[in-house]
Amino acid sequence: MSVLLAAASAALFSMGTYLVLQRKLSRIIIGLGLLTHGANLLFITAGRRGLPALVGAGDVDELSDPLPQALMLTAIVISFGVTAFLLALAYRSWLLTDDDEVEHDLSDLDILLGRGGREDDADLLERLDDHDTDLLERLDDHRRDHELHLPPVDEPPLEPEDGAR
């Protein structure tokens, strides 16, 4: 039985890792959920069966190990908090860009090209080849398409209609 649980945990870990490496926040959230379920399965297999670990419940050798149960409960609470945070990020990203994809920026491209830290944009653009320049142009087009169109700051806020306040 523990081999079956270990195999299920390995499958959850592999699927979760694949999804976490994607660029969509919705897939990252699902992948994180799969990773935490895999960790909880590992905690289940780490414990031993027995009586509840209460004082006076029986002989010490017959009691179950409470540490994996405590670790699993802690993992559930932490994963719930992280999932709620990522859902808030995904919702905000959806409101701003109508998409939940994590976008590239020049520092990502700089690291992708093996240049390490951030350099001046002009210096970076001089050393790009044709493929990298095409990638930069596509990224700039994507940014332009998803820009926010906010009203100017000096405009007064809209008044409620029908006297409702």
Domains of the chain in start order, with CATH, are: 2-52+64-97 (1.10.287), 106-145 (no CATH)
What is the token pair recorded at 43? 């905690």
Instruction: Pick the more confident residue, 17 or 89.
Output: 17
> Is the overall model pTM greater than 0.85, yes or no?
no
pLDDT at 94 (0 to 100): 85
What is the token pair recorded at 78? 């932490």
% of the chain at pLDDT higher than 90:
28
pLDDT, tens digit (0-9, with 9 covering 90-100), for 97-149:
888 887 766 666 666 666 555 455 555 556 555 556 666 676 666 656 655 44
What is the token pair recorded at 34? 């799969």
DSSP 8-class letter at 119: -
Q: How far is CA 149 from CA 29, 99, 144, in A?
A: 28, 16, 11
pLDDT at 145 (0 to 100): 64
% of the chain at pLDDT higher than 70:
61
Judge contact between 40 and 72, C-beta under 8 A.
Answer: yes
